[in-house]
Amino acid sequence: MPVAANLFERRRTRPVRCGNVIIGGDAKIAIQTMAKTDTRDTKSTIQEIQKAVSEGADIVRVAVVDHEAARAIKDIKKEVSCPVVADIHFDYELAIEALDFGADKVRVNPGNIGGKNKLLKVAMKAQSMGAAIRLGINSGSLEKDILEAYRTPSAEAMVESAKRHISYLEENEIENVVISLKSSSVRETIRGYTLMASYTDWPFHIGVTEAGPGYIGITKSSVGIGTLLSLGIGDTIRVSLTGPATDEVKTAKLILQSLDLGHFGPDIISCPTCGRTQVDLLPIVQQVEEGLKEIRKPIKVAIMGCPVNGPGEAKEADVGIACGRDGGILFSYGKPIKKVSNDEIVDVLLEFVRSYPSSPEGVN
Ligand code: SF4
């Protein structure tokens, strides 16, 4: 299918079932993460998956490094509510074993799974079990002949590899396929998925691989995933951080919420402060952010540093405070409601949010 001409017009994809989650079609964009624990340590892996799910993960992947890890999937599945994906490198038999033990999807890297026949054995097994398969093309492990032809692990080289392996699957009438083309280069990631969108209507798992820690990883992931989503590309997203899985999920939610592609809780709008700022704004914003942590209402809360431009700058907010030297003005959609003393600002805002309608219909 061609890439949507209009921004945010979602690319049409086939729906693929992954346990109790649909990837692609009209389904919401699913959030994925990967457990950082050793899968053989089932207790820790279960705890990590449960934490990720309570943060908002829809699907969690686990590394399958040996037979013990493949077997652990059976026990993990009993204790978690989300689909579990087995991540396989090199050994196709581990993929088959993981499927036998209940994996809802297997992620295989065609560049290291050992050739067409082994890939097809895994795909046919997945099909027979009602599970999905992700062709996870990675710029770091492309086939030798493709690397020789393209010289660098470019977007074009990744697309060539993906096309080759998709044709193997389609010739054998394999369904339930998800595609990813990941590079640690944000540019090549965007180029790869954008090029690939013209060749297939299988849904895409998108993300920037090995994005790094903290600000670096969050920025690269947000630019890469955000750009693709704005082009309508992406059916499931994974933010890949050197950090806890829950941070990956939090970042994924904020990316989706920033683009109005999902609503997971309050959206804080706060001004950057400037020479007109009349209060120490940062601690106020931090206290409000902390107080809103457990609230899931899709409400926009603005906190502005001066009464001159504050309400005007946050016209779209459901509720806001424009702070001043002698107290703040509570406003809603840019219109003043009442004056609030400086020491009441945080409590008044939080109280307003708590009493606000919780359904999206109740919020304009
Ligand atoms: S809202 Fe006021 S204090 Fe904040 S950036 Fe704008 S002008 Fe400056």
pLDDT, one tens digit per residue, over 245-297 is 999 999 999 999 999 999 999 999 999 999 999 899 999 999 999 999 889 88
Pseudo-torsion of CA 43, 46, 48, 51, nearest 10°?
Answer: -130
Does residue 21 sit in the same domain as residue 107?
Answer: yes
Domain holding 29, by residue range, is: 16-258
Among 258, 280, 314, the domain-final residue is: 258
Q: What average pLDDT does range 40-64 have in this prediction? A: 98
Specify if 274 maps to a domain: yes
Res 46 pLDDT > 70: yes
Does residue 186 sit in the same domain as residue 278?
Answer: no
Q: What average pLDDT does range 187-197 have in this prediction? A: 96
How many domains does the structure of the chain reveal? 2
Distances (CA, A) of 250 to 11, 203, 281, 287: 25, 23, 24, 19
Does residue 328 sit in the same domain as residue 197?
Answer: no
Least confident piece of the model among 88-97, 98-107, 300-309, 351-360: 351-360
Amino acid 5: pLDDT: 56
Ligand 1 contacts CB of residue 309 (under 6 A): yes
Ligand 1 contacts CB of residue 304 (under 6 A): yes
Amino acid 358: pLDDT: 65
Does residue 178 sit in the same domain as residue 50?
Answer: yes
Does residue 226 sit in the same domain as residue 347?
Answer: no
Distance 284 CA to ligand 1 centre (A): 15
Does residue 204 sit in the same domain as residue 72?
Answer: yes
The span from the CA of 117 to the CA of 134, in Å, is 16
Q: What average pLDDT does range 65-84 have in this prediction? A: 98
Give me the CATH number covering residue 303.
Answer: 3.30.413.10
Amino acid 363: pLDDT: 37
Mean pLDDT of all residues in the chain? 93
Amino acid 311: pLDDT: 86
The span from the CA of 344 to the CA of 336, in Å, is 16
Amino acid 360: pLDDT: 45
Specify if 348 maps to a domain: yes
Ligand 1 contacts CB of residue 275 (under 6 A): no
